[in-house]
Amino acid sequence: MKNFLLEQGVDTKLLKEVDKFLNFYEIDESLKYRIPKPKYHYYGKEIWERSIAGILSGNHILLEGPKATGKNVLSENLAYLFKRPLWTISLNINSDPSSLIGSDTFKNGEVTLKRGPVYDAGLYGGFAVFDEINMAKSEALSVVHSALDYRRIIDVPGYDRLKLHEATRYIATMNYGYVGTRDLNEALVSRFLVINMPIIEREDLIKLLEENTHLNKDYSLLFAQLFLDLQKKSLNSEISSKACDLRGLIDAINLMEIGLPLRASLEMGLADKTFDIYEKEIVMDVVTTLFSSNVNLGDLFAK
């Protein structure tokens, strides 16, 4: 991981501070299984530096950006870099305080607290992700306000108050303006440092494709170009953002590797994510411009 970050050009001073953090905070053997082993590296030097600095400064961070900009990938990468156990909480309209903090339960005839993920992360010095935080009702989240500000406490009525472990950090993710989301309460946002997640840059996208697929160099360039062309069309409002989906592009390339033809794979991963036939046509026209109609799958992948 360190080598990857150096290659990305992440400031070495920050990385030295990360080492200090690692030497200072130990982790319980029984929780090591919760340190994620990320499937993808997060690409983007700026964002790495901002998020590392945010965490080192003791703050919680809110990752805001469009779909498939690597918000969850970055969260896992951060927990891995800082060697902290990770809890993930998927928020939705029904999330309530007990699903975050915990609830009463009977054990051996006594009422005890069945701890929720926010509590566990606070107890063990973990990182916890509030995934899609703007899907939840703000009343549900008000119970974590005291955990997120300088007080760093979780107070559950009827139980002792928990002072958060010093290594505990909360990371929230959100897509602003997505269907089903609501505006985040100002008091809640105020408790996070906010990081705007950009769309991956061309050079990083090529590296990502080279690292995560078996495409050869020429085709990594072409598929990166495809994504960038679609993104441009989406920014110009020629198409919606539905087919402009990096997750879908990687999935499509995996389909091709299994042996599904190029156009079928790109339809499944990208074009058919829009249900508008005109938009589909535009997407497939971009594909036609970049790839010849008789491309041989064998040529795509490095031997």
Ligand X SMILES: Nc1ncnc2c1ncn2[C@@H]1O[C@H](COP(=O)(O)OP(=O)(O)OP(=O)(O)O)[C@@H](O)[C@H]1O
Q: Kindly list the residues in this chain that would bind Mg ion in the complex (CB under 5 A).
A: 71-72
Alpha-carbon dihedral angle through residues 14, 20, 21, 22, given to the nearest 10 degrees: 110
Beta-sheet pairing, 169-174 with 110-115: unpaired
The two three-digit tokens of residue 166, written as one number? 């010093």
69 binds, among Mg ion, ligand X, none (CB under 5 to 8 A by kind): ligand X
Query: Which partner from the list ligand X, Mg ion, none does 247 bind, CB cut-off 5 to 8 Å by kind?
Result: ligand X
CB of 166 to ligand X, least distance (A): 27
Residues 6+ apart with CB under 8 A from 125: 25, 27, 84, 85, 165, 166, 167, 168
Which of ligand X, Mg ion, none has residue 87 at its interface (CB below 5 to 8 Å by kind)?
none
* Residue for token pair 């961070």: 61
Looking at beta carbons, which residue is closest to ligand X? 70
User: From the CB of 246, what's the least distance to ligand X, in Å?
Assistant: 4
CB of 147: closest distance to ligand X in angstroms? 23
Between 119 and 192, whose beta carbon lies closer to ligand X?
192
Shortest Cβ distance from residue 90 to Mg ion (Å)?
Answer: 9
Report the nearest approach of ligand X to the CB of residue 44 (Å): 5
Among ligand X, Mg ion, none, the one that 208 touches (CB under a kind-dependent 5 to 8 A) is ligand X
**Is 125 in contact with 132 (CB distance < 8 Å)?**
no
Residue number of the CB closest to Mg ion reads: 72
Q: CB nearer to ligand X: give 25 or 40.
A: 40
The entry of ligand X, Mg ion, none near residue 70 (CB within 5 to 8 angstroms by kind) is ligand X
Query: What is the nearest approach in angstroms of Mg ion to the Cβ of residue 44?
Result: 15
Given the complex with ligand X, which of 77 and 99 has the nearer CB atom?
Answer: 77
Binding partner at 246 among ligand X, Mg ion, none, C-beta below 5 to 8 Å by kind: ligand X
Residue 175 interacts with, from ligand X, Mg ion, none (CB under 5-8 Å by kind):
ligand X
Kindly report the number of other CB atoms within 10 A of residue 242's CB atom.
19
Cβ closest to ligand X, residue 212 vs residue 216:
212
The footprint of ligand X (CB under 6 A) covers 40, 42-44, 67-73, 173, 175, 200, 208, 246-247, 250
| Least distance between ligand X and beta carbon 212 (Å) | 7
Residues 6+ apart with CB under 8 A from 82: 18, 21, 22, 55, 127, 167, 169
Name the residue nearer to Mg ion (CB basis): 34 or 71. Answer: 71
CB 286 within 8 A of CB 299: no
Identify which of residues 35 and 123 has a Cβ nearer to ligand X in the complex.
35
Could you give phi then psi for residue 26, rounded to 5 degrees? -90, 170
Specify the residue, 68 or 287, whose C-beta has the smaller distance to Mg ion.
68
Residue 88 pairs in a beta bridge with: 129
Q: Where are the beta strands (DSSP E) in the chain?
A: 61-64, 86-90, 102-107, 110-115, 127-131, 153-155, 161-163, 169-174, 193-196
Handedness of CA 131, 51, 35, 127 (dihedral sign): negative
